[in-house]
Every structure is written in C-alpha cells, then in structure tokens.
Structure 1
C-alpha cells in the first residue's frame, strides 16, 4: 500500500466484506490523474513487482477510459492492482463492494453463507449476487442499478 500511496489505493472486493474463499485475491484499486500518471504507475509496477510469480501488466482503453491492471502473487495471495482515471470511490469495484456489503447487512448470515457456498463452487462475486437475487442481464450493471434503491425495496427483492 505504501508503494501505491500516490494513487490512493483502496482494498476492495470480498476480503473487506467477509465473503472471501480459498481462491480469493487481494483487489486494490487506484486512481490516476492523467497519462503521465499511468506511465509512472506502469514503471513503478515494473520496477517493484515484475519479479513476483505470475506478474502480468495490461493497459488498455475501455469505454473511453484508460485502465491499467497488474496481477502477481504475493506469498500465497493472488493480487490484482487496477487503476483508472477516476476517483477510487467512483470506480465500479468500489461501488460493487458497497452495494454487496449493504445486501449482506440487510439479508443476514444465511444469505452470506449462500454467497460463500456459491463462490466456493467457482462462481465470481457479482454473478453470485445476481444469481441469488434472480437478476437477469449483466450482473455487473444490475448490481450497480441497486445502489439507489431504498432498504425496503432491497428487502422485497430478497423476499420474492
């Protein structure tokens, strides 16, 4: 985290919300301000991380936004660093984690255990939530649609 501090890193995903399983990775999201920041982060990753097992780095434009993704293993943990030219709290990884945590809080321990069971079967997180809630369509965008729902609406979704 210290290495990435200029990029405002935040740990997101399953670990902070307590639904990680044996094969879960450490997901760090970062914010970059411009192309020069991307270049600097890419150079930082190469200088400090490429010696780790499984190191890969990809940089591409998706939906008009540049993104950089670095993967590697740190001891027994797979790590993914994701950077985008967007504040970390506006990035989908953070937004997904917030709504997933809210759903876990609203639906309770039985729901949490169902999520964990599906994840142990190999289902990724967002598809797991979409599956349990019977949300049709792209699970990533469907979860984001729930951000603005009131708690009562979310409770009714689970009750059906």
Structure 2
C-alpha cells in the first residue's frame, strides 16, 4: 500500500462501486484483497454482464467523467468489457463478461491464490511478494514459487480444479509447509 492513498477497502467503500454494480454481481479480486499489492496495483472488480450494452451504458453514464477513464471491449473470448479509471488514489479496473463471475478465469485465479496463501503461510506470501517486486505478475509469481512450468494462468486453473489435496501437494512439492486448516 502506498502512503498517499487509503487502504483499498476504504477506497472501494467510498467509491460506491459495489452499489452501482450490484445488478452485475460484482466480486472484488486481485492483489489488494490478497495482501500482495504493490504501488500501482489496481482494485479489480469482476462482473457478470450478459447484456454488454446495458453494462456499457451504465458505466459510461456513471463513471465516464472519472480521472483516467477508459473503456474497451475485447474482440474475442466472449467479448468482455473492461473499464478503468482512478478514484480515491487507486486505479480501478472493472471486468465484465457474459459468464457468471464464479466461472471467470480471473475469479478462479483469485480463489486459488487466496487458498494457496492460507495453506502456504507467511513463507509463501514472502516468496510471492519477492517475485512480484522483481517484476512478475501475480499468476507467474505463484507459478514460479511453486516450481510450475508452462502457462502460469492455465496451471493455476488446473490447480484450482484439483481441489485441496492438489494444492497441498503442490505446496509441499515446492518445499512449503502447509497449514491445512487455515482459512477454510
């Protein structure tokens, strides 16, 4: 966390975004709620927006005047809409896809990272933070910490699908003690 901005949860609460986005089932994800944020990290909100046009209209009207506001739509992959802006000293990014949030890769990455941190404890957190400070994005940092080769984004989805036993196995295989009952 940067000294010149409030904690992410205070900035999020003050922004009113969760209320604004309530019709789109917003979920907070990314590095701030994991405690892995660096200066410049953004607050990520994942939304379920089966009607992209309705989502765009709401975002444009409600947030279009915000500092650094940008919005675009991917040309592939289900054509999600991404809006970004700065508020309360934090960059925000809203990712809205037609698929429910529970099925979105970003949410699944967040859940597996959260569980790995709960199981792997302080040493895993410190290792991931060291790798992030060296310039790695979050998923590649986890993959490197766990000694996983190949596409780190896909690897984390495979880990997540494998359940608790697979997470413990990956952590132990990388030399991390596990705290099996930590964080449920």
Structure 2 residue aligned with 1:104: 117
1:135 to 133, 137, 148: 148
Contact 1:104 1:112 in 2 (8 A): yes
Structure 2: which 5+ runs fail to align?
1-17, 174-184
**Whole-Å separation in 2 of the counterparts to 1:148 and 1:92:** 11
TM-score, normalised by the number of residues in structure 1: 0.89
- Structure 1 segments of 4 or more deviating over 3 A? 150-153
Tell me the C-alpha RMSD between the 2 structures: 1.5
Asked whether 1:157 is paired with 2:170, we answer: yes
For residues 90-129 of structure 1, the aligned pairs below 5 Å read 90-129=103-142
- Between structures 1 and 2, the one with greater strand share: 1
* Alignment: residue pair count: 156
Contact 1:67 1:83 in 2 (8 A): yes
Asked whether 1:19 is paired with 2:32, we answer: no
Structure 1: which 5+ runs fail to align?
none
**Whole-Å separation in 2 of the counterparts to 1:42 and 1:96:** 25
Post-superposition shift, 1:68? 0.2
TM-score, normalised by the number of residues in structure 2: 0.79
Structure 1 residue aligned with 2:46: 29
